């Protein structure tokens, strides 16, 4: 007899239970886009598909490049905004701030990012600059903008970025960091562009 699995997410385990059901012999899964369903929802199609591909190496036949736009479409149609931290399709799912993460991501996106953004129909997110940022990411950003300064200046900027991020209770965008850098370096006449 072929079995299908339908999991509710009341305890946050619908995706894991769906994957276990497949591993245990279920032939199909009941999934919904964004995990929509009654109470706490159901297993999320986009999350299960990516878990099958990335964790199990499963060939599932889905074109994952439409996952991001499908998730956004269903979010708008259902009038249920996606949480920023939602796995796979949330606004911050591809964001990085930590100094060690950004240092390695600059040379190889695969070090701390499970999936390429284009794999789910998105563009790579810019780094978030805040209290966990390291000097390597800042120097890289400045050099991309043709701003060349001493290590002392990078350290001063890093301290200012952390202060602003903590005061605002959120990270800064690349443009905000560049603006802050220009202002700080102009005040100290340390810019060597």
Assign residue 122 the CATH number of its domain.
1.10.238
Per-residue pLDDT, 190: 46
CA 146 vs CA 36, 49, 75, 124, 156: distances in Å: 46, 41, 40, 22, 18
- Gap between the Cα atoms of 164 and 171, Å rounded: 8
Expressed as residue numbers, the domain containing 72 is 4-78
- Residue 110 pLDDT greater than 70, yes or no: yes
Residues 55 and 125 in one domain: no
Residues 61 and 124 in one domain: no
Query: Hey, which residues does 42 pair with through a beta bridge?
Result: 8
Residues 179 and 122 in one domain: yes
State pTM to two decimals.
0.78
Residue 67 lies in a domain: yes
Final residue of a structural domain among 49, 78, 107:
78
Question: Which residue is it, tokens 């200012």?
Answer: 160
Per-residue pLDDT, 191: 45
104 CB neighbour count, 10 Å cutoff = 17
Place 189 in a pLDDT band, splitting at 50, 70 and 90. low
Per-residue pLDDT, 118: 86
Residues 127 and 162 in one domain: yes
Residues 73 and 102 in one domain: no
Closest by Cα among 72, 57, 181, 75 to 120? 72
Residues 6+ apart with CB under 8 A from 16: none
**pLDDT digits over 73-83, tens only?**
999 999 999 99
Place 192 in a pLDDT band, splitting at 50, 70 and 90. very low
Residues 74 and 139 in one domain: no
Residue 56, token pair as written in the block:
């199990």
- Gap between the Cα atoms of 122 and 89, Å rounded: 9
**pLDDT digits over 122-152, tens only?**
888 888 899 999 999 999 999 999 988 889 9
Position with higher pLDDT, 49 vs 92: 49
Rg from Cα positions in the chain: 21
Residues 68, 122 contacting (CB under 8 angstroms): yes
Residue 88 lies in a domain: no
């Amino acid at each position: 007899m072929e079995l299908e699995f339908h999991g509710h997410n009341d305890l946050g385990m619908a995706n894991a239970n769906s994957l276990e059901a497949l591993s245990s012999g279920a032939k199909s899964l009941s999934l919904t886009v964004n995990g929509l369903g009654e109470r706490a929802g159901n297993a999320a199609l986009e999350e299960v598909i990516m878990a099958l591909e990335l964790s199990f190496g499963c060939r599932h036949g889905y074109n994952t490049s439409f996952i991001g736009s499908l998730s956004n479409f269903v979010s708008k149609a259902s009038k249920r905004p996606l949480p920023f931290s939602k796995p796979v399709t949330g606004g911050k799912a591809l964001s990085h701030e930590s100094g060690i993460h950004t240092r390695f991501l600059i040379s190889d996106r695969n070090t701390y990012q499970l999936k390429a953004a284009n794999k789910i129909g998105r563009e790579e997110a810019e780094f978030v600059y805040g209290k966990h940022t390291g000097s390597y990411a800042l120097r890289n950003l400045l050099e991309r903008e043709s701003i060349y300064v001493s290590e002392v200046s990078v350290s001063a900027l890093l301290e200012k970025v952390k202060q602003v991020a903590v005061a605002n209770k959120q990270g800064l965008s690349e443009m905000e960091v560049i603006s802050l850098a220009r202002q700080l370096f102009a005040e100290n006449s340390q810019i060597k562009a």
